[in-house]
Copies of this chain bind each other. A is one copy, B any other.
Amino acid sequence: MYLTQEQLQTYEDNGFVLLPECFSQEEIHKMKVELPVIFSQDTPKRVLEEEGKTVRSVHGVHNTNEIFQSLSRHPQLVKPAMEILGSKVYIYQFKINAKAAFSGDIWEWHQDYIFWRKEDGVPKPQLINALVLLDDMNEFNGPLFIIPGSHKEGMIDVVAQEKRNQSQAKTKDPEWLSSFTAKLKYSLNRDMVADLVLKYGMTSIKASAGSVLLFHSNIVHASPSNISPFDRVVVIVTYNSIENICLPVPNPRPEFLVSRDYQPVDPLLESIL
């Protein structure tokens, strides 16, 4: 047992569980000092906000940066993931979401799994997100909003939106970009969200840097814009069960978005964090 019975029950009931202060301020600092260089690299792995200036997300950083590689294999993340999914796991997706002070834009209401099913051929929602807070997340800096229990609805099938970004709708933009911009490809419509909130209520995650949020791939979530002077950087490592590997799809997304390296992760015995 890595998580307590109560934590496991919370996860099952609500679709998420918060583990406060898993990482020390020193460990968080080691990660934060890596960010300026990572954010400055103009590669396809980097997604900008719609205004074209601020970094919104960077993908696949665990493959190129040893600090974040260490995080992705850290027992604090891997062991709960294995425990909840009931199997060995591999790293399916790794991203840093910046939600920058004054600039971080919204994430529309969505479930993650529908992207992974429709775009990547993942057979079952047997994946888990481990979100690591590199900054305090408070009521001011665009905290995560969650509809607790909404994972019980299963995958809510929504029609893919056409490419909706006016300023980013350049022909050179890759098709996959609409999974990561402020106008999401598989966002839930307003009536669905209103009905779910009526049924389950709504909550927000407020926690200090170093905390970890584990959340289900079918939980309905969103986050508002960040108009505060406080950055709100998070890392999201998605673990997939090794029993749940991707089926073939016509247009596979790049490896830095969706790994097809199904090698199970062994939790590090010694972290460099």
Contact = CB atoms under 8 A, between A and B. Distances in A.
Contact of A202 (B194, B223, B226, B228): B228
Given A101-B190, A190-B101, A190-B102, A142 B228 contact: no
Contact of A227 (B101, B108, B140, B227): B108
A109 B102 CA distance: 10
Interface residues on A, range: 20 to 34
A106 B228 CA distance: 12
Contact of A145 (B140, B193, B197, B202): B140
Contacts of A225: 106, 224-225
Nearest to A166: B167
B190 A228 contact: no
A198 B225 CA distance: 21
Contacts of A229: 190, 193-194, 197-198
At the interface, is chain A mostly helix, strand, loop or mixed? loop
Contacts of A139: 139, 204
A140 B109 contact: no
A206 to B, nearest CB: 9
A155 interface: no
A227 B106 contact: yes
A202 B227 CA distance: 12
A37 B236 CA distance: 46
Interface string A100-117: 011000101100000000
Given A106-B227, A222-B227, 8 more contacts: A106-B225, A139-B204, A140-B145, A140-B202, A190-B229, A197-B228, A197-B229, A224-B227
30 contacts: A101-B190, A101-B194, A102-B190, A102-B193, A106-B225, A106-B227, A108-B227, A109-B227, A139-B139, A139-B204, A140-B145, A140-B202, A140-B204, A142-B224, A145-B227, A145-B228, A190-B229, A193-B229, A194-B229, A197-B228, A197-B229, A198-B229, A202-B228, A222-B227, A223-B227, A224-B224, A224-B225, A224-B226, A224-B227, A225-B225
